[in-house]
């Protein structure tokens, strides 16, 4: 028995091997190893560098490198203003999130804030929206990797390369959160370096005429082909919906907060720098594209990144950009496994699902959520390979499913802005000497919410995005009904 911190044996036979081992362990550690509960806390191993690169990797995706032609065709060069406006909304969302994270740096933070400051249903929908979004994105990215690898090895079946990618990324996520952070940092670094080179080469072409027989291109393409606003207000808003979707993923900082070292310092540093970098990379890249190439001829260019690299004599441009596309797709899948697994972990903590999901490995990783999400991505990839043999035209169904993640991806932004308003009302004392408050609150919240709502309305009226919005609404309604039914049973 244990009394006053010491082990007292009732009789000599009781001092067997098990008892002796217990005495030694308890004396040095104070822990009863025979009654220890499974570890349920995540490790704080992510540095500010990790968090910044994770956010960059989650936001800068394949779409940027493929030219963003869908947004440019609706509004022409004024797409730059769409990226700037969406960037302002992005900044306000991240500052609102940062204000709350500074006080409560927890894993899957925005889902937790939604439950605390809005309603448990809001937290439930936020968590499942994030899981759905990243599961769908993960499947699409794995399929994309198989297509990109065919550039070098055309004979490899998509399911073979897809399996290798899923196994590799699953292993990295199971190893430790630090291993995930390092892998994602390298993926993001490759994309960032490529964009920086794109900006430098674009400036050389525009200002010095490099690759254009020494004749500077200038800036006339910004207005010479139908004006700056070629699609009018309607086209601008249509483009804005896709632009906002391209920024989705930066809120992953809120999910990494529970595993960050020195969370207050790390979070403030990460959010301050990451928004500016994303805006520079996105707006800078699009500026180079619409300045070098007439917006109405971009469809004939293919990838503007490949074409720009080729202009200045880089003959291996196609191979370089294809390599970047592979890493960009792997980065998207990697972030998907991490983000959605932490959301499952959070649902387990709240007892929304089985408590088996909150057991973590000795490396501080929620093993079951990582394995489950990886399996889901793998099954989705296999389904994509098999359905065309079973149902003709089934590829169109997958396109709709992929695009349906846009609305669930916007849910975290809405709940962050709304939660922060309630946060301020409930905790005014925590705002005293707070170093990272949202500027111009609550006007900034209302402005960002208005832009997001306006974007959703126009997405519904746009024939190319209407079905994806409807599918997203159906998903949210279905999860709301599941929530109500399970609450009634419990």
pLDDT tens column, 179-213: 888 888 888 888 888 888 889 988 998 998 888 88
Q: What is the number of structural domains in the chain?
A: 1
Asked if the structure places residue 18 within a domain, the reply is: no
Asked if the structure places residue 234 within a domain, the reply is: yes
Question: Would you state the pLDDT for residue 217?
Answer: 86
Residue 10 has pLDDT above 50, yes or no: no
Confidence of residue 405 (pLDDT cuts 50, 70, 90): confident
pLDDT tens column, 123-181: 999 999 989 988 888 888 888 888 788 888 888 888 888 899 999 999 989 988 888 88
Asked if the structure places residue 309 within a domain, the reply is: yes
Residue 466 has pLDDT above 90, yes or no: no
Q: What percent of the chain has pLDDT over 90?
A: 21
Confidence of residue 402 (pLDDT cuts 50, 70, 90): low
Q: What percent of the chain has pLDDT over 70?
A: 85
Residue 68 has pLDDT above 70, yes or no: no
Structural domain range at position 395: 37-489
Asked if the structure places residue 304 within a domain, the reply is: yes
Where residue 74 sits, what CATH number does that domain have? 1.20.1740.10
Residue 251 has pLDDT above 80, yes or no: no
Distances 270 to 56, 60, 289, 436 between C-alpha atoms, Å: 10, 16, 28, 12
Asked if the structure places residue 21 within a domain, the reply is: no
Q: What is the pTM for the complete model shown?
A: 0.82
Asked if the structure places residue 11 within a domain, the reply is: no
Asked if the structure places residue 8 within a domain, the reply is: no
């Amino acid at each position: 028995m244990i009394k006053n911190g010491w082990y007292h044996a009732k009789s000599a036979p009781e001092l067997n091997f098990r008892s002796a081992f217990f005495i030694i362990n308890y004396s040095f550690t104070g822990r009863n190893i025979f009654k220890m509960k499974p570890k349920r806390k995540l490790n704080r191993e992510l540095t500010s560098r990790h968090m910044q690169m994770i956010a960059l990797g989650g936001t800068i995706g394949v779409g940027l490198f493929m030219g963003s032609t869908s947004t440019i065709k609706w509004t022409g060069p004024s797409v730059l203003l769409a990226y700037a406006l969406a960037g302002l909304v992005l900044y306000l969302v991240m500052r609102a999130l940062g204000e709350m994270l500074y006080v409560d740096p927890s894993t899957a933070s925005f889902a937790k804030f939604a439950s605390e400051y809005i309603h448990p249903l809001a937290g439930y929908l936020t968590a499942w929206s994030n899981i759905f979004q990243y599961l769908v994105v993960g499947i699409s990215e794995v399929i994309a990797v198989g297509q990109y690898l065919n550039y070098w090895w055309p004979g490899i079946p998509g399911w073979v390369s897809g399996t290798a990618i899923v196994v590799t990324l699953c292993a990295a996520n199971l190893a430790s959160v630090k291993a995930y952070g390092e892998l994602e940092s390298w993926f993001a670094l490759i994309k960032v370096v490529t964009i920086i080179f794109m900006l430098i080469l674009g400036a050389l072409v525009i200002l010095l005429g490099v690759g254009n027989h020494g004749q500077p291109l200038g800036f006339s393409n910004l207005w010479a082909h139908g004006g700056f606003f070629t699609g009018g207000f309607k086209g601008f808003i249509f483009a804005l919906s896709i632009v906002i979707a391209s920024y989705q993923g930066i809120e992953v900082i809120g999910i990494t907060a529970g595993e960050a070292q020195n969370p207050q310092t790390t979070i403030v540093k990460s959010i301050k720098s990451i928004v500016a970098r994303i805006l520079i990379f996105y707006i800078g890249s699009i500026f180079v594209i619409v300045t070098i190439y007439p917006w109405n001829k971009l469809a004939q260019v293919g990838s503007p990144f490949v074409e720009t690299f080729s202009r200045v004599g880089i003959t291996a441009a196609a191979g370089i950009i294809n390599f970047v596309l592979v890493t960009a797709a792997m980065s998207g899948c990697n972030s998907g496994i991490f983000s959605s697994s932490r959301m499952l972990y959070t649902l387990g903590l709240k007892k929304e699902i089985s408590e088996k999901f909150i057991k973590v490995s000795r490396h501080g990783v929620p093993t079951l959520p990582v394995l489950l999400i990886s399996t889901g991505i793998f099954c989705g990839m296999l389904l994509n390979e098999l359905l065309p043999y079973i149902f003709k035209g089934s590829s169109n169904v997958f396109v709709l499913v992929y695009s349906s993640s846009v609305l669930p991806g916007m849910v975290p932004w809405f709940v962050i802005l709304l939660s922060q308003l309630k946060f301020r009302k409930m905790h005014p004392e925590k705002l005293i000497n707070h170093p990272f408050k949202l500027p111009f609150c609550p006007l900034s919240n209302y402005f960002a919410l208005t832009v997001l709502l306006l974007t959703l309305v126009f997405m519904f009226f746009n024939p190319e995005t209407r079905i994806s919005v409807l599918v997203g609404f159906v998903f949210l309604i279905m999860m709301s009904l599941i929530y109500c039914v399970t609450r009634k049973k419990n």
